[in-house]
Amino acid sequence: MAGTNGRVRLDAMSEMMAPPPPTVAAAAGVIDARKTYGVGDATVNALDGVDVRFEPGKFTAIMGPSGSGKSTLLHCLAGLDSLSSGAVFIGETYLADLSDKELTELRRSQVGFVFQSFNLIPTLTARENIVLPLALGGQEGDAVWIDRVIDTVGLRDRLSHRPSELSGGQQQRVAVARALATRPTIIFADEPTGNLDSNSGTEILQFMRDAVDEFGQTIVMVTHDPYAASYADRAVFLADGNVVGDLASPTRDTIMDQMAALGH
Amino acid sequence: MIGTLARKSLRARLGRNIFIGLAIMLGVSFVAGSFVLADSMKATFNDLFTELSENTDLVVRAELAGVDEMDGAVRDPIDRSLVDEVSAIDGVDLAEGSLGRFAQMLDPEGEPIGTGGAPQLGISWSGEGPLNGVTIKEGRAPDGPDEVAIDKATADRVGFDVGDEMTIVLDSGQRDFTIVGFVGLGDTDGFAGATTSLFDSEYAAEILGAGDQVDTIEIALTEGADIDTVQAAVADVLPPRVEVVTGEQVAEETSDQINQIVDLIGTGLLIFAFVTAFVSAFIINNIFGITIGQRLRELALLRSIGANSSQVRRMIVIEAVVVSLTATIVGILGGLVVARGIIAIFNQAGAGFPDVSLTMQVRTIVVALIVGLGVTLASVLVPARRAAKIPPVAAMRPELGFTALSASRRLVGGAVVTGIGIAMFLVGLFVQPGGGAGLAFFAGGGALLTFLGVTSLSSTVAHPVSRAIGAPIEKLFGQPGKFARDNASRSPRRTARTASALMIGVALISAGAVFASSLRDTFGRVLDRAVTADYIVTDPSFQGLPPAVAENLGAVPELEAVSPFRSIFGTIAGDQVGVTAVDPASFPDLINLDVTDGGYDGLVDGDGVMVFRDAADDRSLDVGDEVVVTYQNGIESALVVSGIFDDNSLGGSWYISIDEFEAVSDQTPRDQFVLARLADGVDPEQGRVAVEAALAEYPQAEVQDNAEFRAEQEGQINQLLVIITTLLSMAILISFLGIAITLALSVFERTREIGLLRAVGMTKRQLRRAVRWEAVIVAVFGVVVGAVVGLSMGAALAVAVPNSVIDGVTMPWANLVFVLVLAVIAAVVAALYPAYKASNMNVLDAISNE
């Protein structure tokens, strides 16, 4: 019983301590996010009080040098990692309140993922990979929507192939289709073009751009490539665990300027 | 340098190495334990009997002709008057007649005290003395006709105190005694498991119904007497067919008998021990194969920075040998524990072994080392050679690692090995070149090769078969079920090899089950066909029934036919035969021999014999021919063939009359069983009551109708199956440990995949479920292949056995379903650890793993 009471109290506290609901509608965001690793002298502040919200229907790029905390931020936003303090929300849900099971179900239904590599399960066909999050939830999904997604990424003739039979670019397109298949609140992409040649990379970036423009999808992408970030509506710059810049409608030039200003 | 690398690698893969060590250790300790058990029991018994007989210089006893005690023959008794004659001989200090007869103790509730097969003895005893080796543990020796001393082991087990009253069933009926003492042989508390009642020697002959006879006479010589002279002098006074031998020779014979039994047990255990070691080899080979695959980059890196291929190979072999040596040493010590454990199990079952001190012979250590190191080296050499062939470039491009043997070459190789194995197995069973040893070599070696070949072959069917097994699981469990199915079939070689370890255990159980169920059904058919009696009376402890049982039943008016079945050994022209004596008037009504020539008349008249068709044909005997039998006691008898019969499925090939038996044998008669048939029109229930009443004096006699008898025999056949399964349990345990470790290694291999699945929304529960059902698919695959192999082997075995034992093959479907269900449960348990590891994997580590 003590445990239950403790839990109730914690819930109540987090409600009191949680900031008021965002006034500007946001698909996801973090509030005063801190994340430390290690103890004593070896302590590293990967996130040092980050506040950032992501508007629905927008394509945001998170940029920064290695060790800036951009990957940690993405992992915490996606519920793959937890903050040391501060809050994360996706839609109207604060992630700190969720059990592992609820978090998993949230990722399954409200979050889409595109990683740099190893995005697909090797034993499943392209089609099975696309509908995997739906299948895990025991759902069929919206057949019309899935058809549209498949056509958008242009994979109709590759659906019964396994990942080993697809090129890197095709595999990444399957990954994007999978991320779109559940119509998630938000898609997180971690260097999605990092392992691709420039043509395939451009293709993937264009698909993500189209998903935002045509379907109103929200996408947050971590990248260190100014060219990739130029496809976004907004570029957030991180350094040493802090937000150090925020560009609207970034172009390659404005991004380069910003990076130069930050000392790179 | 290679040594250092091997050492570091050993430490880095501690868990895996502990498992490999465990598998080796289990196999080795079973092998060592079998030897330790046999050696220790032999040494202990031999010491005991040497000690007991150390004062006995000469023994007078009846001769045995053409048979020995190992066949189950009992010597005739000799005249008591010989004791006095022998005592009078110069040089004889002491001569004592010994007498042992059936005596069944009853517990305070009047129930027979069981022994689990050991004898129930009543012996004549004149108190502690140099010749008998019996020592008093409590109380005193019996003095007078109403006193008895009993072995302390039984007293402790049942809870008797000195001074208690006890009823003993003798051949003449029940009789009450006062317990005056507890005794044992030498330092032990019992008589090697026999329940033993000791009576005052003055009254023993009367109590035990031995008349003026004794079994043997033990002689101690006066000091300084020459043993050869005295032996010759004793021989001079002995009647025909009685001999005098040295005490040393008797002790040796007794030891030999015990050693034969112990060797039989030891060899049986050893077979299962080697099966266990064989199964370990499969698992270890699989683990080495998988981990070398996982270390590919590391090994290629070593190659690219300058290690040559023999250094890589040496590193892997050194690692294996270190693990194996450690495990073998622990396993040898474990052998002592196994031996102790088996002795404890035997004693629990009432074997009453003396206090065995364990002996570890050099031979045991050598064999254990060969098994332990051999298993490891056989398992690691092929993977090590493959590892050594890794091109250095694989450090950068792992896909260039190594190529497995092509599927078609494996198929051909597997088919050839399987073919040779099956051929050897069948030759062993049906041709039996070189008798028993040839049978063991060909059938055993053939089975071994078949297992190896089938393992190779099964990897080519592992994909479709495991997909078929997984289909219903996918239907039931959706996406996790699909992962289980996909993962089980994605590496057919691994699945096949993991399942093979289980396959061997299941094959042996299935073969045993086919044999047992065929035996059971044949037995049922024999009972239906050949037995026309209504009741079968037996002694459950196999001591045989006193003739009074058949006599009492003969007087029951509700019964129209009663016959005892009594056996004696003999030789005909040097060939040993078993002869059964029956009541010639009744037994045609009790069993159906299918007489095709002549009839029973000759038996009724006296010197007739009924002969089984094959036995008659072998000796060109026809009805009316004379055949000379030399009975086990040396007496010859000319018998006339009265009838020839075609059905010997009850076991007997030669039947004589009880009158003939009593004319030639001086033994206290013991009936193996008694058959009885109700008179027409008698109500079975009423008949049963009458039969039970007639046997009230002999509670050890068990009366069963056909159905009860059948059920009991089936129970005993099932017992056989339980023993086989128990002995295979270590091999089966290892095979499930193998499933667990292979799965854990697979989970480790799929780290990134699992991370991705967790990221896109697979719950821990779904992940555990996928791992669990993968284990189930692998286990079911092993059971299916094992059942196919085992049922075939068992069917061949059942066909090879003579028709008189098994005349048709029955498939043990119920046993198989049971095995399948157990395997599924065991697989779920085996999957616990890998499933836990998979579900607790850190998602972030998994996906950021480059």
Res. A103: pLDDT tops 70: yes
A23: left (phi over 0), alpha (psi -120 to 50) or beta: alpha
Q: What are phi and psi of B570, to 5 degrees?
A: -155, 175
Residues of B in contact with A78 (CB under 8 A): 759
A136 closest CB neighbour out of B486, B490, B762: B762
Asked if A81's CB is within 8 angstroms of B847's CB, the reply is no
Name the pairing type of β-strands A219-222 and B636-645.
Answer: unpaired
| Mean pLDDT score, B252-267 | 86
Asked if B478's CB is within 8 angstroms of A80's CB, the reply is no
> Which contacts (CB < 8 Å, 24+ apart) does range B138-143 have?
B138/B162, B138/B181, B138/B182, B139/B179, B139/B180, B139/B181, B139/B182, B140/B180, B140/B181, B141/B180, B141/B181, B141/B198, B141/B200, B142/B180, B142/B181, B142/B198, B142/B199, B142/B200, B143/B180, B143/B200
Asked if A115's CB is within 8 angstroms of B756's CB, the reply is yes
Task: Tell me which chain B residue has its CA closest to the CA of residue A180.
Answer: B760
Residues of A in contact with B463 (CB under 8 A): none
A121 closest CB neighbour out of B753, B765, B766: B753
The pLDDT-based confidence of B611 (bands split at 50, 70, 90) is: very high
B526, B537, B598: which is closest to B563 by C-alpha? B537
Give the pLDDT of residue B264: 85
DSSP state of B106: B
| Rounded CA separation A185/A181 (Å) | 11
B197-206, B406-415, B489-498: range with highest mean pLDDT: B197-206
B842, B791, B783: which is closest to B818 by C-alpha? B783
B373, B294, B337: which is closest to B20 by C-alpha? B373
Residues 727-786 of B with CB under 8 A from A: 752-753, 756-766
Token duo for residue B403:
């190529």
| Mean pLDDT score, B148-169 | 92
State the nearest Cα–Cα gap between A73 and chain B, in angstroms: 12
B329, B322, B387: which is closest to B7 by C-alpha? B322
3-state secondary structure B777-833: HHHHHHHHHHHHHHHHHHHHHHHHCCCCCCCCCCCCHHHHHHHHHHHHHHHHHHCHH
Residues 6+ apart with CB under 8 A from B26: B276, B280, B331, B334, B730, B733, B734
| Rounded CA separation B195/B207 (Å) | 17
3-state secondary structure B524-572: HHHHHHHECCCEEEECCCCCCECHHHHHHHHCCCCEEEEEEEEEEEEEE
For chain A, domain boundaries: 22-116+185-261
Choice among B325-339, B369-383, B553-567 with the minimum mean pLDDT: B369-383
The pLDDT-based confidence of A6 (bands split at 50, 70, 90) is: very low
AA letter at B408: S
The answer to whether the CB of B325 falls within 8 A of the CB of B21 is no
DSSP state of A224: S
| Rounded CA separation B89/B233 (Å) | 7
Q: How far is CA B7 from the centre of its chain?
A: 43
Choice among A85-89, A149-153, B80-84, B846-850 with the minimum mean pLDDT: B846-850
Q: What is the torsional sign of CA B63, B64, B69, B72?
A: negative
Token duo for residue A99:
């059990």
Q: What share of chain A is helix, strand, coil (3-state, %, to 5)?
A: 45, 25, 35
Q: How many CB pairs under 8 A join A and B?
A: 67
Residues of B in contact with A137 (CB under 8 A): 761
Alpha helices in B179-246 (DSSP H): 201-208, 227-237
The answer to whether the CB of B694 falls within 8 A of the CB of B552 is yes
Q: How far is CA B635 from CA B581, B654, B670, in A?
A: 16, 17, 19
Task: Tell me which chain B residue has its CA closest to the CA of residue A82.
Answer: B844
The pLDDT-based confidence of B354 (bands split at 50, 70, 90) is: low
| Rounded CA separation A116/A194 (Å) | 6
B315, B826, B784, B159: which is closest to B510 by C-alpha? B784
Give the pLDDT of residue B413: 86
The answer to whether the CB of B698 falls within 8 A of the CB of B109 is no
B611 vs B669 pLDDT, higher one: B611
The pLDDT-based confidence of B42 (bands split at 50, 70, 90) is: confident
CB burial readout B598-636, b (16+ within 10 A) else e = bebebbeeebbbbbbbebbeeeebebeeebebbbbbbbe
| Per-residue pLDDT tens digits for B305-314 | 777 778 888 8
B681 vs A5 pLDDT, higher one: B681
Residue with tokens 């198989």: B816
B739, B738, B284: which is closest to B488 by C-alpha? B739
Which of A132, A162, A172 to substitute to test the interface with B, most B CBs within 10 Å?
Answer: A132
Q: How far is CA B636 from CA A34, B68, B572, B576, in A?
A: 107, 17, 10, 14
Asked if B844's CB is within 8 angstroms of A115's CB, the reply is no
| Per-residue pLDDT tens digits for B378-425 | 888 888 887 777 777 766 655 555 555 567 777 888 899 999 999 999
Residues of A in contact with B749 (CB under 8 A): none
| Mean pLDDT score, B100-120 | 84
The pLDDT-based confidence of B353 (bands split at 50, 70, 90) is: low
Could you please state the CATH topology (level 3) that the domain comprising A22-116+185-261 is classified under.
Rossmann fold (3.40.50)
Contact residues of A toward B, CB < 8 A = 71, 75, 78, 80-81, 100-101, 104-105, 107-109, 113, 115, 118-124, 132-133, 135-138, 178
B486 closest CB neighbour out of A118, A123, A138: A123
**DSSP three-state, residue A36:** strand
The Cβ of residue B159 has, within 10 Å, a number of other Cβ atoms equal to: 10
Residues of B in contact with A115 (CB under 8 A): 756, 759, 847
| Per-residue pLDDT tens digits for B48-77 | 778 778 888 999 999 988 887 777 788 889
The answer to whether the CB of A46 falls within 8 A of the CB of A69 is yes
Res. A44: pLDDT tops 50: yes
AA letter at B371: V
Kindly state the helix (H) or strand (E) to which residue A189 belongs, with its residue range.
Answer: strand A186-190
The answer to whether the CB of B426 falls within 8 A of the CB of B446 is yes
Q: How far is CA B400 from CA B293, B300, B591, B696, in A?
A: 12, 10, 76, 84
DSSP state of A160: T
The pLDDT-based confidence of A13 (bands split at 50, 70, 90) is: very low
The answer to whether the CB of B499 falls within 8 A of the CB of B636 is no
Rg of the Cα atoms in chain A? 19
State the nearest Cα–Cα gap between B282 and chain A, in angstroms: 27
The answer to whether the CB of B553 falls within 8 A of the CB of B694 is yes
| Mean pLDDT score, B263-292 | 84
Q: Please list the residues that pair with B176 across neighbouring strands.
A: B167
Res. B850: pLDDT tops 60: no
B478 closest CB neighbour out of A71, A122, A138: A138
A135 closest CB neighbour out of B479, B486, B843: B479
Task: Tell me which chain A residue has its CA closest to the CA of residue B483.
Answer: A123
Choice among A180-194, B274-288, B554-568 with the minimum mean pLDDT: B274-288
The pLDDT-based confidence of A96 (bands split at 50, 70, 90) is: confident
Give the pLDDT of residue A1: 37
| Mean pLDDT score, B736-758 | 87
| Mean pLDDT score, B750-774 | 90
Residues 6+ apart with CB under 8 A from B275: B504, B505, B508, B728, B731
Kindly state the helix (H) or strand (E) to which residue A108 belongs, with its residue range.
Answer: helix A100-110
DSSP state of A165: G
Choice among A244-253, B366-375, B403-412 with the minimum mean pLDDT: B403-412
Res. B703: pLDDT tops 90: yes
Task: Tell me which chain B residue has its CA closest to the CA of residue A78.
Answer: B759
Res. A121: pLDDT tops 70: yes
Cα angle, residue B251 at apex, residues B247 and B257 outer, rounded to 5°: 145
DSSP state of A41: G
Which of B466, B760, B765, B841 to substitute to test the interface with A, most A CBs within 10 Å?
Answer: B760
Give the pLDDT of residue B829: 93
The answer to whether the CB of B697 falls within 8 A of the CB of B644 is no
DSSP state of B584: T
Token duo for residue B732:
């089966």
Cα angle, residue A127 at apex, residues A125 and A128 outer, rounded to 5°: 65
Asked if B483's CB is within 8 angstroms of A100's CB, the reply is no
